Amino acid sequence: MIKHIRIDNRLIHGQVAAAWKNNIGAEAIIVCNDDVAKDPIQKMVLPMAAQGSKVLVYSIDELIEYDQKNPNETKFVICKFASDCLQLLEKGIEVEEVNIGNQAPVLNTDYVMVNGFVAATKEDAITYRKIAEYRGGKLPCQVVPTRPVEDFLDLLEKAGL
């Protein structure tokens, strides 16, 4: 069972992962992105960020397979990009919560900072709205558990995206 998907292009960083994991109460942290899953350095260093926790680094298809084989394990999934999350939803993954974390801007893209932590392009906005369709029209944005939850669709609109 996937309890929470976080979209964050810094993946597991420092104690943020631990803060969320405890808050969510998940047994495993799974980083999900096809490129990261092929990167031997990232596969080695990402688990270091959350020592003492079970950390897996999977491609989208690997995650789906793992979830099917281990349906009872509670999972906290971190997707690098919104497109990873959308693919999971399109492939029928069930999840209790989807949350937007950090999205640092990608160089040479036409991005807008929608709040202090999330950069988005027009194409990203389309992806986020598609995700929201799977989520009953709602999409929260919360960087760390102690900060207030923002309505991400509102933020996109205010940013003119």
Partner 1 sequence: MVLWYRSMKGILLISHGEMAKGMIDSISLFFGDLEQLDYLCLKKENNPEQFKEQMIEKISNLDSGDGVIILADILGGTPCNQSAYLAKENITVLTGMNLGMLISVMSSRQGKVIDIDMILDDTKVGINCLNDLLGVRR
Q: How many residues touch partner 1 (CB under 8 A)?
A: 26
Cα(22)–Cα(139) distance, integer angstroms: 22
Task: Read off the amino acid at residue 64.
Answer: I
Scanning 7-15, 62-70, 92-100, 121-129 for contacts with partner 1 by CB under 8 A, the matching segment is 7-15
Specify whether the CB–CB gap between 91 and 140 falls below 8 A: no
117, 142, 155, 161: residue in contact with partner 1 (rule CB under 8 A): 117
Is 102 one of the binding residues for partner 1 (CB under 8 A)?
yes
Is 50 one of the binding residues for partner 1 (CB under 8 A)?
yes
Scanning 11-19, 21-29, 63-71, 127-135 for contacts with partner 1 by CB under 8 A, the matching segment is 11-19
Cα(56)–Cα(47) distance, integer angstroms: 7
Please tell me whether residue 71 adopts helix, strand or coil conformation: coil
Is 43 one of the binding residues for partner 1 (CB under 8 A)?
no
State the catalytic residue, choosing from 1, 3, 10, 13.
13
Scored b (16 or more CB within 10 A) or e, 37-47 reads: beeeebbeebb
Write out the residues near partner 1 by the rule CB under 8 A: 9-15, 17, 41-42, 44-46, 48-51, 102, 104-107, 113, 116-117, 119
